A and B are shown apart, each in its own frame.
Chain A
């Protein structure tokens, strides 16, 4: 699920931020249009990046609110996420005729993120990513779905 959430310390109750775009009326999930210039991709080199600065973003505080479409409070986020080759990367391929999508990809490549989330009175700045954490997933690939699936 697309979200950039800030959570309490492990073992403590309560998520304190959940910055995500709201679901569009058509059902598009937490997905925004981005200026092309903010994304750089070179699949051959297994590199990509996406930078957004001072992007207005609702803070639903927790996932339940975010899935429900609110309530939210105003927020602003900036981030820089970068993909790069990694020693444990491996290729993969999935073709799903039932769901009409096919993807060729490299998974296990590396990624870093620099993230700032700001709401009134708070200013969160991310630190280092821990790639050993369960749940980490990084991939880069090419997908064809819907009418482009064959």
Chain B
């Protein structure tokens, strides 16, 4: 994700005054810093660890979910109900994880794949330009309370 030059700040609750939570500081980050924060994941060689198998939820159509209340602000702009992939302290992989779900009143699986690579337009054409790309793909699958106050099961993805 190329975010250089645009100052952003984080809040525990979009639209509310910053409360100085341990989750986010009163700071403005450049977009590059946000990028660097995203690269702060640790790779300590701990033993492989398996999560408990998730409950299996039946699929059913339902009302739309609510966004998470928190998120980030772009200076001079409105807030956005999403956190960057990774940890709250970009320099400390042992710091709390940012909330990775974008929907609230949710209980389920969350997966994040923030990946960077190269690709091309005009594949197979000699001399075709190579571009760098990044993706932040997230899955959320489980039960949630919809905007109508009722509980549903569903699958959602951030693209």
Task: Give me the interface of A with B, judged by CB distance under 8 Å.
Answer: 1-10, 15-16, 19-21, 23-24, 26-36, 38-39, 41-46, 48, 50, 52, 57, 63-64, 67, 77, 79, 81, 83, 85, 87-92, 94, 96, 98-101, 103-108, 111-113, 115, 122-131, 133-148
Contacts and interface: CB of A to CB of B under 8 A. Distances in A.
Given A7-B131, A98-B21, A129-B116, 13 more contacts: A1-B84, A2-B82, A2-B102, A4-B136, A30-B82, A30-B158, A126-B135, A135-B39, A136-B114, A138-B112, A139-B110, A147-B145, A148-B107
Rank and list the top 8 A-B pairs by shortest CB-CB distance, nearest first.
A134-B39, A2-B158, A146-B105, A91-B49, A36-B59, A148-B107, A126-B119, A29-B82
Interface string B42-55: 11111011111110
Contacts of B42: 90, 107-108
18 contacts: A2-B136, A10-B132, A16-B131, A29-B82, A31-B157, A36-B141, A81-B137, A91-B46, A91-B51, A98-B21, A103-B110, A124-B131, A127-B130, A133-B39, A137-B85, A139-B110, A143-B140, A146-B105
B119 A127 contact: yes
Q: Which range holds the interface residue count of chain B?
A: 35 or more
Nearest to B119: A126
B115 A129 contact: yes
Contacts of B136: 1-4
Given A35-B155, A83-B113, A130-B117, A29 B51 contact: no
B116 A130 contact: yes
Contacts of A83: 111, 113
A45 B71 CA distance: 31
A111 B134 CA distance: 13
Given A48-B139, A140-B111, A142-B52, A33 B155 contact: yes
Interface in B69-87: 69-71, 74, 77, 80-82, 84-86
A135 B1 contact: yes
A48 B53 contact: no
Interface in B17-72: 19, 21-23, 35-36, 38-39, 41-46, 48-54, 59, 64-71
